[in-house]
Amino acid sequence: AQSVTQPDIHITVSEGASLELRCNYSYGATPYLFWYVQSPGQGLQLLLKYFSGDTLVQGIKGFEAEFKRSQSSFNLRKPSVHWSDAAEYFCAVGAGGTGNQFYFGTGTSLTVIP
Amino acid sequence: GAVVSQHPSWVICKSGTSVKIECRSLDFQATTMFWYRQFPKQSLMLMATSNEGSKATYEQGVEKDKFLINHASLTLSTLTVTSAHPEDSSFYICSASSLVEPEGTQYFGPGTRLLVL
């Protein structure tokens, strides 16, 4: 069965510190992987995606993620967190193709302290 | 690019009335649109998938007669909550994907918060 696990429900980091948000997936086919960010009361904004090629992908706002097939992981990283990065982060996996649904993780809430 | 809008952003209605939420892709043609429901501090729950010109496919447990979805054009899908009740109060989010991105990237609208009194 397809599933996405985000082990950390909530993470607190200091501004300027590095960040890593974990995502593990269980998927029977080649996964198409996505990270989204959601600010309070807002929709989801795409940060980055992976479906082929270089396993280290760069996204917007200075985020990057690395696909590790052997570990079934797609962890999100940022070298230096800004206060504006405080939000909810969702990892998603899909089968590719426009009609196929996503499977979302439960999300990780990020708090940034000054 | 890839902007999705939703209207209204907020709606308050009386129990028993119907509410229509619009989802529009502003700068691309959305072959498929998805409707989600999100409860506070929870992940997204897929309600239905709609393809332009076809009937929507509803997820198990979602009442199709209560949540009417129409995807009449490549840029517009609507969700109508019929005979709304307080338990229908929630945050509804739509997303859209297109053939231009075959990996199936979904672009999300800003959401609509529904409060049924």
Q: How confident is the prediction along chain B (117 residues), in pLDDT tens digits per residue?
A: 689 999 999 999 999 999 999 999 999 999 899 999 998 888 999 999 998 888 899 999 999 999 999 998 999 999 999 999 999 999 999 999 987 887 889 999 999 999 999
CB contact under 8 A, A106 and B43: yes
Please check whether residue B96 touches A, CB under 8 A.
no
Confidence check: pLDDT of A16 > 90? yes
Q: Check residues A40 and B14 and name the one with the higher pLDDT.
A: B14
Residue in B20, B50, B24 with CA at minimum distance from that of residue B35: B50
Chain A hits for B46, CB-CB cut-off 8 Å, are 101-102
pLDDT of residue B66: 96
**Band (A11; pLDDT cuts 50, 70, 90):** very high
pLDDT of residue A52: 87
Confidence check: pLDDT of A64 > 80? yes
Name the interface residues of A facing B (CB cutoff 8 Å): 32, 34, 36, 41-46, 49, 51, 90, 94-102, 104-107, 109
- Burial, A54: exposed, middle or buried (Cβ in 10 Å; 0-12, 13-18, 19+)? exposed
pLDDT of residue A1: 76
> Mind listing the pLDDT tens digit for each residue in A76-93?
999 999 999 999 999 999
Cα–Cα–Cα angle for B109, B111, B115, nearest 5°? 160
pLDDT of residue A29: 78
Q: Check residues B22 and A98 and name the one with the higher pLDDT.
A: B22
Chain A hits for B32, CB-CB cut-off 8 Å, are 98-99
pLDDT of residue B40: 87
Residue B63 main-chain phi, psi, to 5 deg: -80, 115
Mean pLDDT (whole number) for A57-68: 97
3-state secondary structure of B102: coil
Confidence check: pLDDT of A33 > 80? yes
CB contact under 8 A, A96 and B102: yes
Chain B hits for A46, CB-CB cut-off 8 Å, are 105, 107-108
**Band (A105; pLDDT cuts 50, 70, 90):** very high
Count of A–B CB contacts within 8 Å?
70
The nearest CA of chain B is from the CA of A45 a distance in Å of: 7
The nearest CA of chain B is from the CA of A18 a distance in Å of: 24
pLDDT of residue B18: 97
Mean pLDDT (whole number) for A44-72: 95
pLDDT of residue A97: 75
Q: What share of chain A is helix, strand, coil (3-state, %, to 5)?
A: 10, 50, 40
Residue in A57, A29, A59, A65 with CA at minimum distance from that of residue A46: A59
Q: Which two tokens stand for residue B12?
A: 């308050």
CB contact under 8 A, B46 and A101: yes
CB contact under 8 A, A106 and B110: no
Mean pLDDT (whole number) for A13-19: 98
3-state secondary structure of A72: coil
Please check whether residue B42 touches A, CB under 8 A.
yes
pLDDT of residue A84: 96
